[in-house]
Amino acid sequence: MNSIQTINPLLPDYRFLLGKLSCIENLVEESTNKDKAIILSYLERIKQSTLQDSWGKKISSRKLKVLNSLIKKFYPPLEETYILALVKSALNQLNYLKQLSQINRLNKDRIPLNSLGLSLEECTGLLKQLGHLLNYLEIIKTPFKDLQRILPLCSNLSTLHLQNCAIHPEHLKVLPDFPQLVCLDLSGNQIDEEGLAIILQKFPHLQVLDLKENPIASIQGLKNTSDLEELYLSFTYLEHHRIIDLPQVKLQNLRILDLSYNFIENIAYVLSQCSLNLEGLFIAGNDLTSEDAKYLIKLNQDELTLLDVSHNQLGDEGFKILSEGFVSLQDFDASYNNLTNAALTALEHLSTLQTLQLDGNEIDDEGITELINYLPNLEDLSIKNNSIGAIGEARLKEKFNMNITDMTV
């Protein structure tokens, strides 16, 4: 198991001790020492007090030190060095945790497994005690045989990320059902159309599905997935003759759609034929031109607040069409689209824009005037790899109190 992570900052947590204690307990149970019952009894007392203390009370290291003494007394040191090493490790980590006075509360639904350096045995020991409390779990680059030991211990997950774990369709069949699961991220695996069908059958109430970087070549399996609100399909095997099914899929509750970097022919036309009320659309890297922009603005213009059309070929004309059509945009990424200063006059239509990314274009100091005049509510600007000089940078910093990212050429 190479990496197990949670999405929030990996704050140390007392509860990892249960994993080590359970691992010690398993090793003692497997031994033939006639006095092991004494140690097992004491271990159980430590585990129970740790469960109580894990919600905020100060944990004393005295009990672990007694455990250390018991093991030394009843076990030949050379035979059980691994057990002693585990106890010593638990003591060291407990002492470290006691020094972190800034931690005044514990997350009760997320466990920072990876940051604590747990082995698979320690991880499963911990999850046997606390897995039912988790509602979120993120696991990266972990063999499926290890996942089969971990996942059944987390029965109440609502969000699950299994990224780059080499998961195939046959693996999906033996995943736990997770009745409360609404968000599933299987990006970077080996899931095709068969796998997609298994996912939707196994988890019919998903609201968020991330299948980017998978060999999916058709979306027909998504028909009538009425609960789906966010769908991420960038870097897949989708092609034009497969994406034409999109209008028939009828994702009536879909709010976020990502089809980036699929180089889908006529993607803008296909989207224009869909009855979608999108709030966010990511279609970077699909060879879009100004002609495609004319189709895109046929989408529901009032709802769309986030648009990523970076790494296309829109040019000034395409940028103007989109700016005039989607006047409710708050976040707009038009990086790497061969834009010049002439495109920026269209910014007058985007008075609600808060975040703008124009990296990799042909904008210089003169274009900064348009930015200053037309974007009163702008909070974040990324304009790296353009031709902005010291004059343009100074004018932006003087005009706006905002984050300006990498303005150098």
**Cα–chain-centroid distance for residue 408?**
30
164-223 pLDDT per residue, tens? 999 999 999 999 999 999 999 999 999 999 999 999 999 999 999 999 999 998 888 887
CB burial readout 69-93, b (16+ within 10 A) else e: ebbeebbeeeebeebeebbeebbeb
Residue 184 within any structural domain of the chain? yes
Asked if 287 and 312 count as a contact pair (C-beta separation under 8 A), the reply is: yes
CA separation for the pair 372, 392 (Å, rounded): 10
Residue 200 within any structural domain of the chain? yes
* Same-domain pairing of 77 and 206: no
**Cα–chain-centroid distance for residue 356?**
23
Neighbouring residues of 62: CB distance < 8 A, sequence distance ≥ 6: none
Listed residue (179, 143, 185, 141) closest to 160, CA to CA: 185
Residue 169 within any structural domain of the chain? yes
* Same-domain pairing of 228 and 306: yes
Q: Considering its fold, how many domains does the chain have in total?
A: 2
Listed residue (335, 382, 381) closest to 362, CA to CA: 335
Residue 137 within any structural domain of the chain? no
CA separation for the pair 328, 306 (Å, rounded): 9
Residue 132 DSSP code? G
* Same-domain pairing of 374 and 307: yes
- In this prediction, the residues of the chain whose per-residue pLDDT falls under 70 are 1-36, 38-118, 122, 126, 129, 224, 240-242, 247-248, 401-409
The DSSP string of 154-207 is -TT-SEEEEESS---HHHHTTS---TT--EEE-TTS---HHHHHHHHHH-TT-S
CA separation for the pair 112, 138 (Å, rounded): 10
**Cα–chain-centroid distance for residue 327?**
29
- pLDDT score, position 32: 63
Residue 210 within any structural domain of the chain? yes
The DSSP string of 202-238 is H-TT-SEEE-TTS-----GGGTT-TT--EEE--SS--
Q: Go through the chain and tell me how many residues it has.
A: 409
Question: Which residue bears the tokens 């046959």?
Answer: 170
* Same-domain pairing of 277 and 346: yes
* Same-domain pairing of 231 and 337: yes
- pLDDT score, position 58: 43
Residue 3 host element (H or E):
strand 3-5
Listed residue (84, 87, 189) closest to 142, CA to CA: 189
* Same-domain pairing of 225 and 284: yes
* Same-domain pairing of 231 and 299: yes
Domain extent, residue 270, equals 146-154+162-405
* Same-domain pairing of 179 and 68: no
Measured at the alpha carbon of residue 384, what is the angle toward residues 383 and 389, in degrees to the nearest 5?
A: 85
* Same-domain pairing of 71 and 169: no
Residue 131 within any structural domain of the chain? no
CA separation for the pair 232, 397 (Å, rounded): 36
* Same-domain pairing of 185 and 87: no
Classify burial at 41, counting beta carbons within 10 Å of its beta carbon; exposed 0-12, middle 13-18, buried 19 or more.
exposed
Of 98, 113, 136, the one marking the end of a domain is 98
Residue 315 within any structural domain of the chain? yes
CA separation for the pair 36, 300 (Å, rounded): 69
- pLDDT score, position 69: 61
Residue 304 within any structural domain of the chain? yes
CATH of the domain at 284: 3.80.10.10
Measured at the alpha carbon of residue 148, what is the angle toward residues 89 and 176, in degrees to the nearest 5?
A: 125
* Same-domain pairing of 355 and 239: yes
- pLDDT score, position 310: 96
* Same-domain pairing of 84 and 204: no
Q: How far is CA 390 from CA 162, 201, 378, 395, 397, in A?
A: 45, 57, 20, 9, 11
